[in-house]
Every structure is written in C-alpha cells, then in structure tokens.
Amino acid sequence: MHLRQILAIVAVLVVVAPVRPSGAEDAMRKLEIFRDAPLEKGLWRMEVLESSDPRIKESSAKMGKASICMDVAQEISAGPNGEGATEGDADPDCKQAIVRDSESAGEIDVTCKDGDKTTVIITREGPKSYVFDSKRTPPEGEPKTMKGRYTYQGPCKGDSLIQMDRDSEACRKMRTQMGEDGGAAMCAQVPEEHRAECVKRMQSLTAMCE
C-alpha cells in the first residue's frame, strides 16, 4: 500500500458522513443531543459499525480507531479567506428537516427534488457518545445504510486533521513506506521547489499516527 492509497483511506473518514452535501450537517449541529459536546469542536472518534458498502467497512478496519479534529476541519472548511460555507450554500434542490430533537435522540430527514431521500437517527449511547443510523434511498438502485458511533474525546491534541490508532494497519504500512527517517529520503528526491511542501506533508502524516 503506497502513501497515495493510505491518503485515500484517510479521506474515507472525512467523507463518511451518511448524507450527500445538502445542509443536513447544519441540522446536526443544532440538535439538542449535542449540547454538552458541540459537534463542530474538539476531537471526535468516528467508528463505522455497519455499512451496506463493503468498501467503507474495509477502509474503516484499516484505519483502526481514528479521530477527527473538528477545529481543524472547520478551518479547512472556512477556506483561505475564513468565510466558510453558510446554510445558504446548501444544495438548493434538497430540503432538510429536524423530525425529532431531544437530549437523548435526534432524527433528520433530507429530501431532494431528484427523489433522493436520507434519514439519519442519532441516539445517545453514553456520556458524550452517540450512535447514528442512516438510510439513503437514491432515485435508482438499492438503499444504502450505515451505522456508526461518534465519541467526543476532548480538545484536539495537535494540528492534525486525522488522528489514527498508532497500531492500525494504515499506520504500520505508512511507517514502512516512509522509512525510519520519516520520509526525508523520499522528499530528497522531489524537485527543490516542492521539497518544503513534501516535508510538511510527511510531518502531517506522521502526526496522524502519534
């Protein structure tokens, strides 16, 4: 497994949200269930428990226990000008509705003009631990389902977007690929004008597995 493949696996965690971009993430942040642990802040462990897509399950298994720093995710989402996306930027062809909203459970429906419909149910499992069940029914094809867990772990530990289990398959393969020098030899072969960027990227990858 090469670094490019590992990065592709990392990307799965970032896009593992159970709905297509439609504004549902705005509704999730507003749910009462997340009042004691705001979804847009801190370090969140995200686990895929079940999925109708075997590729997601396989990628999740390779990642091990992985977490996302939502503070960094918010900065990336804001872009270079810090403006970020707003509720008005949501897909105008989709409407999201909060069906249920309490301290123990939340339910969101997203319905799109093309017939795509998604239902996400979130329940409190324990202190700052939540389980979500999602079902997306596209206009054509079979429904897609996924079950996962969000667990709040406190403030972020660094500037890395993803924090993976050091002993996960992805981290072991990454260390093997980068070598004992942390990828310095690999970056030495990169054209000088791109070398600093390469070193920064290797440092970010290393931080993911610390």
Look at residue 65 and give its three-state secondary structure: coil
Tokens of 174: 């990454």
Tell me the pLDDT tens digit for each residue of 11-57.
444 444 444 444 556 677 778 998 888 887 888 888 888 889 888 77
pLDDT at 87 over 80: no
How far apart are alpha carbons 30 and 53 in whole angstroms? 28
Q: For the residues 168-172, what does the mean pLDDT come to?
A: 78
Q: What is the mean pLDDT of the chain?
A: 77
Positive or negative torsion for Cα 66, 72, 78, 84: positive
Q: Distance between the two ends of the chain, CA-based, in angstroms? A: 20
Q: Which amino acid, residue 92?
A: P
> What is the reported pTM?
0.67
Look at residue 62 and give its three-state secondary structure: helix
Give the pLDDT confidence score for residue 106 in this predicted structure: 92
Query: In 3D, which of 5, 101, 7, 16 has the Cα closest to residue 51?
Result: 16
Domain count of the fold of the chain: 1
Positive or negative torsion for Cα 82, 84, 86, 88: positive
pLDDT at 198 over 80: yes
Contacts with 46 (C-beta within 8 Å, 6 or more apart), sequence order: 13, 16, 66, 67, 68, 148, 149, 150
Residue that wins the pLDDT comparison between 166 and 101: 101
- The whole domain housing 191 covers 3-208
How far apart are alpha carbons 121 and 105 in whole angstroms? 7
Contact 48, 60 (CB under 8 A): yes
pLDDT at 178 over 70: yes
